Amino acid sequence: MLLLMQGLFWLIAGISAAPFVLGGEVFMAALSVATMLLALATLLVGIGVLWRRRRARGLAVALEVVCLFGSAVLLLLPIGFNGGPVSLMVNVALPIAVIILLRKSEAEAFS
């Protein structure tokens, strides 16, 4: 469920870049498509986890570790990255929750 939510958040981010592409931002087009593909991949990984595919679990953990590392770097850099409750929930708590839940034994893990 967490991966489904995360996939939806990325899908929305990908779609939200589209108006800027129409405004002439050419590089944003590539990022928009890449983000929507990432959203799709996250949903597929979520389905894989649901079907108890070992590879999907590994991919999900790897994805969340990368997300968590990226968020930590952005939070530590003095660039004014948003540190509000929603940002912390989505960019920090969610990846941590997925990692913890996937590290549990299969019998214990949430669907």
Partner 1 sequence: MFDIAPDHAVGLYAGLLALPFAVLALKFRHAAASRVPGTVLGASVLMATSGAIHLGLVWTHLEEGVTAVLFVLNGIAYLALSQLFTWRWWRPASAALIAGTLLGYLVYIVLGFDGPDQVAIATKLIELLALALVLVPVRGETSRRKLRWRTLGVAIPVLTVMTVAVVWIDALARPDERHAHAGALLQATNEVATPGQEAAAQKLYNDTSSAIAPYRDWRKAWADGYRPGGSQTMPSTHWMNQRYVDAGYVLDPRHPQGLVYANTKHGPQLLGAMFQMKRIGEFGPDPGGPVTAWHQHENICCTPLGFEFSLMTPTATCPLGAIAITTPAMLHVWIVDNPSGRFAVDFDEKLVRKIDQA
Give contact residues for partner 1 (rule: CB under 8 A). Answer: 1-2, 4-5, 8-10, 12-14, 16-17, 19-20, 23-28, 30-32, 34-35, 38, 74, 78-82, 84-87, 89-91, 108-111
* 29: CB partners within 8 A, 6+ apart: 17, 21
CB nearer to partner 1: pick between 58 and 93: 93
Q: With contact defined as beta carbons under 8 Å apart, do 42 and 63 qualify?
A: yes
State the minimum distance, in angstroms, from the CB of residue 16 to partner 1: 5
Nearest to 56 by CA among 5, 106, 92, 17: 106
State the minimum distance, in angstroms, from the CB of residue 61 to partner 1: 18
